Chain A
Amino acid sequence: MTTAMAEAQNSKDLRQAPVQGSTPPVGSTTTGAIAVAAESTVATRMSASPSFDVADFPVPHGREEEWRFTPLDRLRGLHDGTAVATGQGVKVEVSAPDGVTVETVGRDDERLGRAGVPVDRVAAQAYSSFEKASVVTVPKETVLDTPVRITVHGEPLDGAAATVYGQLVVELGAFAEAVVVVDHTGDAVLAANVDYILGDGAKLTVVSVQDWDDKAVHVGQHNALVGRDASFKSVAVTFGGDLVRLNPRVAYAGPGGEAELFGLYFTDQGQHQEHRLFVDHNTPHCKSNVVYKGALQGEDAHAVWIGDVLIEAGAEGTDTYEMNRNLVLTDGARVDSVPNLEIETGEIVGAGHASATGRFDDEQLFYLMARGIPEHEARRLVVRGFFAELVQQIGLPDVEERLIARIEEELEASVA
């Protein structure tokens, strides 16, 4: 019987907290670090400074801090300039309720590039390469009662997946409220960045679903700039793809901002799913809460979770917590989970993080089966339970139902 839980539980009074607990699944790492430093290493660890220009980034060789977990040979050339845009093959459709403006704009539009600067070569490649951007605007004080739905569907031409660079901007004026669902399906090689700009007091919930076919490659940097007293909630749901690598990032434009970043992923045989979060507490009296959970199954399933939080010297009154949990259902899967918290001021409300990777517990399975519940149903109960708190965060019944159905499908595949 194996019951393995590797725990890293840290709070701000620990300068450096080692990994506690016992063996995670073979090859997996769960580490945690809190550094109290005068200068951020979150930035200096990167191999180049942020830039909109791809030429400012050397072609990665794989040993850089930001690339060391990513299989570069599966990026289809997005990282080295060889991925040439095919122009079509990815269809983007926006359906928005009245009051929302949806535009397609050129590269010179002044509303682009305001929420954040590309931090790695693929993000810069996307920014340097897109031809048209989509801009979705919710005017100030407009409260939407139905979600904005954006579908991104990749349809291979003559059997070849399209290579596409994209840019999306979602902007909410002051005190506007909206829910945006971005749904990725089909097959494509996509490098696309998204900017979320929240005016003062605005409330935005974003659900980004990566439900790609098995061969798709998707890399993107998602920047949120949270205005004064604004609330940003993001739910990233990653199921599909050969390789998905997302960089959700948050910064604050004024005090009183709140960010909740939720994520769930189900990493299957051979899939690489990587979520690299960064919350920059650059402004006083802001909050952030990060919860990502993943289940893995099958040979060479690889999930990577990086959670960087920086509390800058001027960000007094910050309250932040981040957590990552992984449930490894079979042998052969690998998790790398690295929370990293840097604190440049002690004048904060709270800061902490936790990371744990555990195997599916055979004792739980025995207990449920000893009550007559068949094995596949017992696994389903446990995995559904594991994800339940996050699924409930979505708040959209149709997305929740689809999600549960996909979890069930994944589990069926594992039993078969």
Chain B
Amino acid sequence: MATLEIRDLHVTVEAENATKEILKGVDLTVKQGETHAIMGPNGSGKSTLAYSLAGHPKYTVTGGTVTLDGEDVLAMSVDERARAGLFLAMQYPVEVPGVSVSNFLRTSASAIRGEAPKLRTWVKEVKEAMERLQIDPAFAERNVNEGFSGGEKKRHEILQLELLKPQIAILDETDSGLDVDALRVVSEGVNRVRETGAVGTLLITHYTRILRYIKPDHVHVFAAGRIVESGGAELADKLENEGYEAYVKGGVSA
């Protein structure tokens, strides 16, 4: 069973000629089949955690370890991490002009699976996955994320999640900028993947809204670069009622 273990993770970023520590000792274990929600105020370092796990070069890991089934994730390149089973659904997916969605998906699936999927079954697989996410088939011939609306970009991210079948999925504010209908469609996509039991999900969000659709097993409050409180789904209700104020002002920051 796949397990992602984050131990005492410290991460810095270069900003305006100064090195700033964003993550200040994150500990978290995510197992296949589990869903963890990470919630926290803006600027607490949630997205930094997501991008650091995926290996974005902007962030420097200064301490701690990240392992996937004992393998050192931090020693892997960005593409190696993806092939090892990590997936990051991005908050701001990037436009790639000149590369069609169908070409991108197939190239990506070939890389992840280690061989090109058989064309006939692949076309069917993509078509069905797109239908489930209510994505217009014409999207396949459009350039990756180019001219996509906010909701289309997020559905395209979840389409990749469904097709690439990672062991650990990190969803970075997938709910942001979505109206209720789009949120429901995207959440259903995430739930289909979760129901297979094959994925461990790390759901990063600012709002509790998405948790009405995707029920977490564990909820963690993230503040000032680390997890300051962990609990079950009931912790989300507390945050819904009380907000983050207690964590921001309550002297728990490092």
List chain A positions with a Cβ less than 8 A from chain B. 1, 361-364, 366-375, 377-378, 381-382, 384-389
Is the pair B57, A371 in contact by a Cβ cutoff of 8 Å?
no
Q: Is the interface of B mostly helix, strand, loop or mixed?
A: mixed
Proximity bits, B77-101, A CB within 8 Å = 1, else 0:
1110111000110100111111100
Stretch at the interface among B106-114, B124-132, B226-234, B241-249: B106-114
In the assembled complex, the Cα of A371 lies from the Cα of B78 at a distance in Å of 9
Instruction: With both chains docked as a complex, state the minimum distance between the C-beta of B145 and any C-beta of chain A, in angstroms.
Output: 8
Is the pair A367, B58 in contact by a Cβ cutoff of 8 Å?
no
Is the pair A386, B112 in contact by a Cβ cutoff of 8 Å?
no
Known: A372-B82, A377-B107. A367 touches B98 (CB 8 A): no
Which residues in chain B, 52-81, are within 8 Å of chain A measured between CB atoms?
A: 54-58, 77-79, 81
List chain B positions with a Cβ less than 8 A from chain A. 54-58, 77-79, 81-83, 87-88, 90, 93-99, 103-104, 107-108, 111-112, 143-144, 160, 164
- Return 14 A-B CB contacts under 8 Å, by A number: A1-B58, A361-B94, A366-B57, A367-B96, A368-B108, A370-B78, A371-B112, A371-B164, A372-B83, A372-B164, A374-B111, A377-B107, A385-B99, A387-B98
Q: Which residues of A contact B98 (CB under 8 A)?
A: 382, 384-389
Given contacts A369-B82, A385-B96, 20 further A-B contacts (CB under 8 A): A362-B57, A366-B78, A367-B90, A367-B93, A367-B96, A369-B55, A370-B78, A370-B79, A370-B87, A371-B104, A371-B112, A371-B160, A372-B112, A373-B79, A373-B108, A377-B111, A381-B96, A385-B97, A385-B98, A389-B98
Q: Which residues of B contact A371 (CB under 8 A)?
A: 82, 104, 108, 111-112, 160, 164
Q: Which residues of B contact A1 (CB under 8 A)?
A: 57-58
Is the pair B96, A364 in contact by a Cβ cutoff of 8 Å?
yes
Shortest Cβ distance from B160 into A: residue: A371
Q: Is the interface of A mostly helix, strand, loop or mixed?
A: helix
Instruction: With both chains docked as a complex, state the minimum distance between the C-beta of A274 and any C-beta of chain B, in angstroms.
Output: 25
Instruction: With both chains docked as a complex, state the minimum distance between the C-beta of A224 and any C-beta of chain B, in angstroms.
Output: 29
From the candidates B56, B90, B143, name the one contacting A385 in the complex (CB within 8 A).
B143
Instruction: With both chains docked as a complex, state the minimum distance between the C-beta of A135 and any C-beta of chain B, in angstroms.
Output: 40
From the candidates A366, A373, A386, A387, name the one contacting B94 in the complex (CB within 8 A).
A366
Q: Which residues of B contact A385 (CB under 8 A)?
A: 96-99, 143
Q: Which residues of A contact B58 (CB under 8 A)?
A: 1
In the assembled complex, the Cα of A372 lies from the Cα of B164 at a distance in Å of 9
In the assembled complex, the Cα of A362 lies from the Cα of B78 at a distance in Å of 12
Is the pair B57, A372 in contact by a Cβ cutoff of 8 Å?
no
